[in-house]
Amino acid sequence: MTAASDVARVVDEPSNLTRAWRRFLRNPAAVIGALIVISVVAAAVLAPSLASYPAHAGSFVDFRSRHLAPSLVHFMGTDNVGRDIFSRVLFGYRISLLLVVGVLGVAVPLGVLFGLLAGYFAGAVETAVMGFTNVMLAMPPLVMALAITAVLSPDLINSMIAITCLWWTWHCRLVYRVAKSVAAEDFVEAARLAGASHMHVLFRELLPNCTAAISVKTTLDAGFVILFGASLSFLGLGVQPPTPDLGTMVATGAQFLPEMWWEAVMPGLAILYAILGFNLLGDGLRDMMDVEI
Amino acid sequence: MIASYLVRRAIGFVFVLFGLSVVIFVVARVVPGDPARIALGPLATNEQVAQLHREMGFDKPAALQYFDYLGGVLHGDFGRSLLTNRPVAADIAEALPATLELVLFTLLLIMLVAVPAGVLAARWHNTWIDNASRLVSLLGVVTPGFVVALLLQLFASLFNFFPLTGRLSPDLGFVPDITRLALVDALLKGRLDVFTDALSHIFLPALALSAAGIGQVMRITRSSMLDVAKRDHVETLRSFGVPGWVITLEYMLRLACIAPLTILGLEFASLMGNAFIVELVFAWPGFASYGVRAILSKDFNAVMAVVLMSGLFFVVANLLIDLLIGLIDPRLRVRRT
């Protein structure tokens, strides 16, 4: 290729990143997903200033205004002790996102590390890691999380621990699959022959080939971690009152169905909204990066 | 051929269950919290706690405790529940059929709704039918089980058509004592009134439980139908003038069934987990409420049994599905062995 045509190519064809970005913008579902995720994160971060009644996030009680239907004063109504549900939902997103960051912040690096090791080193390492992973994956995840939360005591940190214990195995299996197929490629062999260390091959040759799959899975997972945490606290095994947790709010509100429907339905829809956002965004990223999960 | 393949898978699964029991045992024994103290309450003397420790074998080394426990489990003895003070095996035997009935009915519902819907979405792909199915499946996947359950309960209470809780109306005085599955026993005994009653009770919990599965199976069926439609033999049939619906039902669906069936095996795990939540909302007398109570009171033997039984279910369901796939697709019998 001559220098002139090289320049022409650079000028005419947009970079991979730009092309991917355009493909992302052409996908309305992905853009909606991104907007939802941004709004959820903003709601969580700005909760103290966005909430109409920030004090209601705690153990506030106002029996005169309990069980009020949604109105302009209380967008989502009030709960059984007179707290503004909208304000509590905003603060609830903080707990949900804290859970997501806590779980994925530990589970993803852990799963990626073990997945890389198992995919690269065949033999005993592969058998041990994947054997253990398959045992973990053979369990109904919610039952497993319940059992772990049970032997610990129910609170936010222990929910994080329980969900993390399960979650890393999914990433481990995904990265294992990608790393194993990449490890068989010639360029890995070439790197080894050129004298590259195992560390170099693992983190400089294999890992970059896994990042697309990891980031898509992590985005999708954020939604499912929220779902999981909400399910645990719905069963009374998660965050304890008066902390405004969405799952706990649904469980409490469910006692007042069907008359005071908003008390369970509003926090329920708030959970759905957040999960929907991460799911749409994750699917959009998957199409954009063209990876299989 | 297929027999030896299944045997090998079964052996693998035995190892999975064994590993699982070790994991839970370690988790339960390593973490703080004295089950004997919790069972006896704060007023018990230290001597009483020590006495219960000896009775439960907590004073022995952990490895020995584990093998004692495993030996018991292999004989169907899961130990005594600290919560109900009965053998755990008896508690489980009482609660299990209801859960099993709910999960099996849900699987049936998923297949009956999702496969035809997926076929329709593939037949008219990229039309409004396809888009509607895409929306339904997305909502099914992203809505938490307890939200679906509560919404269904809310709507049902408006129309007053389905009973909101329970498994059978108590005034029928019916005891399912043949297979322990109310729907099956009602048919076996020729009690149509009981059957419709049981059906109306199980419908809402099963619908709530099936939401996520219907979405996934529908999309998978659609994409594998579209995939199969491009195959040579389908083109050939078409050029021979075989009617379209014959091709779809006779030749394509058989091939396209494999992917959704595989997913269904995996789906079983999340069904067992979600059953905990759905059972709680609809007061379904299965082992969810038992499990949750056991978990909250650190009833170790009961928790262990509930988790192991869920794992066993999952394993058996996956073996059955492997067998089914082998029957549908003869090529796999050879390829996999």
Query: B52 with A174: CB under 8 angstroms?
Result: no
The mean per-residue pLDDT over the stretch A246-274 comes to 86
* Cα distance from N-terminal residue to C-terminal residue, chain A: 37
Judged by a CB distance cut-off of 8 A, whether residue B23 touches chain A is yes
What is the overall mean pLDDT for chain A? 82
Query: A129 with B19: CB under 8 angstroms?
Result: no
Q: What is the DSSP string of B68-108?
A: HHHHHHHTT---B-TTTSSBHHHHHHHHHHHHHHHHHHHHH
CB contact under 8 A, B28 and A250: no
Q: Report how far residue A112's alpha carbon sits from residue A107's, in angstroms, rounded to the nearest whole number.
A: 8
What is the number of residues in chain B? 337
Judged by a CB distance cut-off of 8 A, whether residue A32 touches chain B is no
Phi (first) and psi of residue A15, to 5 degrees: -65, 165
A160 or B161, greater pLDDT:
A160
Query: A151 with A209: CB under 8 angstroms?
Result: no
Query: pLDDT tens across A12-26, in order?
Result: 566 777 877 888 888
Hey, what are A209's tokens? 């080939």
CB contact under 8 A, A150 and B306: no
Query: pLDDT tens across B296-321, in order?
Result: 777 777 888 888 888 787 777 777 87
Banded model confidence at residue A32, pLDDT cuts 50, 70, 90: very high
Q: Which of A139, A152, A163, A240 to mutate to test the interface with B (most CBs of B within 10 A)?
A: A139
Distance from CA of A25 to the nearest CA of B (A): 20
Which amino acid would we find at residue B18? F
Number of C-beta neighbours around residue A229 at 10 A? 29
Burial A200-214 (b: 16+ CB within 10 A, else e): ebbeebbbebbebbb
Q: Report how far residue B57's alpha carbon sits from residue A139's, in angstroms, rounded to the nearest whole number.
A: 27
Q: Which CATH superfamily is domain A19-56+69-289 in?
A: MetI-like (1.10.3720.10)
Query: B140 with B220: CB under 8 angstroms?
Result: no
Residue B258 predicted with pLDDT over 90: no
Query: B133 with B226: CB under 8 angstroms?
Result: no
Burial A252-276 (b: 16+ CB within 10 A, else e): bbbebbeebbbbbbbbbbbbbbbbb
Predicted pLDDT at B187: 76
Judged by a CB distance cut-off of 8 A, whether residue B319 touches chain A is no
Query: A163 with A141: CB under 8 angstroms?
Result: no
Q: Report how far residue A284's alpha carbon sits from residue A29's, in angstroms, rounded to the nearest whole number.
A: 7
Q: What is the pTM of this model?
A: 0.83
The mean per-residue pLDDT over the stretch A33-49 comes to 89
Closest-CA residue in chain A for B143? A272
CB contact under 8 A, B270 and A141: yes
Which amino acid would we find at residue B109? L
Q: Which of B141, B209, B295, B313 to mutate to test the interface with A (most CBs of A within 10 A)?
A: B295
Closest-CA residue in chain A for B267? A140
CB contact under 8 A, A140 and B295: no
